Amino acid sequence: MKFVVVTGGVISGLGKGITTSSLARILKSRGMAVTVVKIDPYLNVDAGTMNPYQHGEVFVLDDGMEVDLDLGNYERFLGESLPGSHNITTGKVYRAVIEKERRGDYLGNTVQIIPHVTGEVKRMLREAGQSAGAEVVLVEVGGTVGDIESMPFLEALRELQQEVGGKENMAFVHTTLVPVVGAVGEAKTKPTQHSVRELRSIGIAPDMVMARGPALLTPELKAKISLFCDVPAEAVISVPDQVTVYHVPLHLESQGVGDYLTKRLKLPTRTADWTRWRQFLDTYGKATREVHVGFVGKYIQLKDAYLSHLEAFHHCQGNLGVKISVEWFDAEDLRKDPATQQRLREVDGILIPGGYGVRGIEGKILAAEIARTQNIPFLGICLGFQLATVEFARNVLQLKDANSSELDPHTPHPVVTLLDTQEGVANLGGTQRLGSQRVLLTEDSQVHRLYGRREIFERHRHRFEVNPTYLERFTKAGYAVTGTSPDGRVEVFELPDHPFFLGVQYHPEFLSRPESPHPLFAGLVRAALARREGVSTSKEEVPRVPTPSIVA
């Protein structure tokens, strides 16, 4: 088993996650068994309690682990599902060490950062690779070199390189910044030099430098970085911004990254297969038809809070050949601004994502009403699904005070309420329903036609659910429950008389992939295109997601 470690320097946000994902895809294209691990140096055990404004989207895996958004990138680039053990945090490591100390596993020895914490990190990395059956394990180290939080992890990786046999079995890739400054736009290599020096000072010598900047490096700049950073010129890689993140693997491949890593790690020499990936990018770039989708959320100032949704639309563009222009609507502004409401009425489709808390709730309910009454294709996800249910109760059933008991504990009509994971039991408490869950679809329903199957598995992250005591009234009024859990929970509802109106309790965005867009996003885009072009919504089969998470 071999390792490729990706570190970052100078500043955060340089795209280490995309670099790591791209390297993984490059090796997989050569037939390697590859897996990816993310090291997050924060003390949180997982990302579940983090504010999206601080850390972006919380990504949920099949096993229910709430993790860093970079694991979403890994899954999308690899087209594979990862377990929660592939997100290592300081909180997880210290908790494991303390539990061992309390059990007496250390036999009375003084417990220290070295060797106990570093030893735990090495154990976690090895087990992640072994459980995945990987030939190559890619490891992304969060933060930047020099951060006090990441020092134990870098020390563990320095030790691991020696333990696995040295540079033949472990390569370090350092992502750094080459800014362009001054009136003449001169590229500066000094930040890269200092960053590499910092890395070398702790005993790690990079084998490759990924130079991020606004433009391609000149041969002279590559030679300069090579000289001062003691890295071969062929291993100084220029990585300017790309049209999409999915262009990055081929950009790196064109600079010989795959061949260099293959030679550097003495991996089998194989021809890379990029056929399907190139088809996706070719379709993406040639998209001529366009739809405008209104995205109604409350974290719209930080687009990373909704990263998987945006990537799902990219996947649709690269497979359907339809350009998706996302128009952002702040849910708080929508209720009080008629001009914003009118702008929403003019879009081709509306999406309301999941979320927590009361801020912006009434705006999202209004958005669902606009979609329902104006026949605008609609997809409500998790909280968006619940609020579409509230809107239906208020305006169709005329239960004017209807609400979710999460948002109004005193509502006389809790059409969305707290349910237990055990059938028929109330008061769930602090436990969320997380991870991949089985969903049964109603035959010949719209959602059944989209998936092309009756049984699916989708990822969940919620506590509150549709209150079953209201279902009889809902169904009589046209609210069709077309997807349920095996124990009868409402998972999907649709409005049969609407061109496209779907609400789902789960999170389909987590399972969309570049080569296979999620059926619900593809369905929304097709319906939006039909609305824009003034034709009837097609029931033509849409691309499906051939992953173990969806296929029963």
The pLDDT of residue 231: 96
3-class DSSP state of 174: strand
Q: What is the dihedral of CA 194, 198, 203, 205, to 10 degrees?
A: -30
Cβ neighbours of residue 499 closer than 8 Å, sequence gap 6 or more: 375, 377, 527, 530, 531, 537
Q: What is the DSSP string of 473-503?
A: HHHHTT-EEEEE-TT--EEEEE-TTSSSEEE
Among 75, 140, 491, 509, the one annotated catalytic: 509
246 burial type by CB count under 10 A (0-12 exposed, 13-18 middle, 19+ buried): buried
Predicted local confidence at residue 543, as pLDDT: 46
Residue 77's pLDDT is 98
Please state, in angstroms and rounded to a whole number, the distance separating the CA atoms of residues 520 and 502. 9
pLDDT: which is higher, 185 or 6: 6
pLDDT, residue 209, reads 97
- How far apart (Å, rounded) are the C-alpha atoms in residues 155 and 76? 30
* Distance from C-alpha of 138 to C-alpha of 134, rounded to nearest angstrom: 10
Nearest to 391 by CA among 362, 349, 420: 362
Please state, for a pLDDT cut of 70, what percent of the chain lies above it: 95
Whether domain 279-533 has CATH 3.40.47.10: the reply is no
Given the residues 309, 460, 498, 507, select the one marked as catalytic: 507
Per-residue 3-state assignment (H helix, E strand, C coil) for 382-407? CHHHHHHHHHHHHHCCCCCCEEECCC
In sequence order, the β-bridge partners of residue 328 are 295
Q: Which helix (H) or strand (E) holds 461?
A: strand 455-462
In terms of C-beta density within 10 A (0-12 exposed, 13-18 middle, 19 or more buried), how is residue 207 classed? buried
* pLDDT at residue 137 is higher than 90: yes
Beta strands in 142-277 (DSSP E): 170-177, 180-181, 186-187, 208-212, 236-239
Please report the pLDDT score of residue 537 as a whole number. Answer: 52
Q: Which two tokens stand for residue 47?
A: 């990302």
For residue 465, indicate whether it is catalytic. no
CATH topology of domain 2-269: Rossmann fold (3.40.50)
The 10s digit of each residue's pLDDT in 285-332 is: 999 999 999 999 998 888 889 999 999 999 999 999 999 999 999 999
- Can you name the residues that pair with 433 across neighbouring β-strands? 462
**74 neighbors 39 (Cβ within 8 angstroms):** no
* Cβ–Cβ under 8 Å, residues 525 and 320: yes
Using pLDDT thresholds of 50, 70 and 90, give the confidence band for residue 462: very high
Phi-psi region of 182 (alpha: psi -120 to 50; beta: other; left: phi over 0): left
| 139: pLDDT strictly greater than 70 | yes
Cα separation of 337 and 72, whole Å?
35
Residue 74 has pLDDT above 70, yes or no: yes
Q: Rounded distance, CA 233 to CA 217, Å? A: 12
The answer to whether the CB of 428 falls within 8 A of the CB of 416 is no
Tens of pLDDT, residues 375-431: 999 999 999 999 999 999 999 999 999 999 999 999 999 999 997 644 443 443 347
Quick: pLDDT tens for 320-345.
999 999 999 999 999 999 999 999 99
Average pLDDT over residues 448-476: 96
Report the C-alpha dihedral over residues 250, 255, 259, 261, rounded to 10 degrees: -90
pLDDT digit string (tens) for 36-46? 999 999 999 99
Q: What is the pLDDT of residue 539?
A: 46
Tokens 């005993």 — which residue? 203
| Residue the block writes with tokens 């687009």 | 303
* Residue 509 annotated to the active site: yes
The tens digit of pLDDT for each residue in 247-285 reads 999 999 999 999 999 999 999 999 999 999 999 999 999
Convert 128-141 to b/e letters by CB count within 10 Å (16 or more is b).
bbeebebbbbbbbb
Average pLDDT, the chain: 93
Decide if 2-269 and 279-533 have a common fold. Answer: yes
Q: Is the pLDDT of residue 65 over 90?
A: yes
Q: Are 434 and 461 in contact (CB under 8 A)?
A: yes
| Segments making up each domain of the chain, as ranges | 2-269, 279-533
User: Does 437 score more than 50 pLDDT?
Assistant: yes
13 falls in which pLDDT band (50, 70, 90)?
confident
For residue 451, count CB atoms less than 10 angstroms from its CB and return exposed for 0-12, middle for 13-18, buried for 19 or more: buried
Of the listed 382, 406, 465, 491, which one is catalytic? 382
In angstroms, the CA 44 to CA 55 distance is 12
Task: Grade residue 536 by pLDDT with cuts at 50, 70 and 90.
Answer: low
| Residue 507 known to be catalytic | yes
Q: Residue range 48-69: average pLDDT?
A: 90
At 452, the pLDDT band (50, 70, 90 cuts) reads: very high
Higher pLDDT: 49 or 291? It is 291
> In 10 A of CB 289, how many CB atoms?
11
Rounded to two decimals, the pTM is 0.92
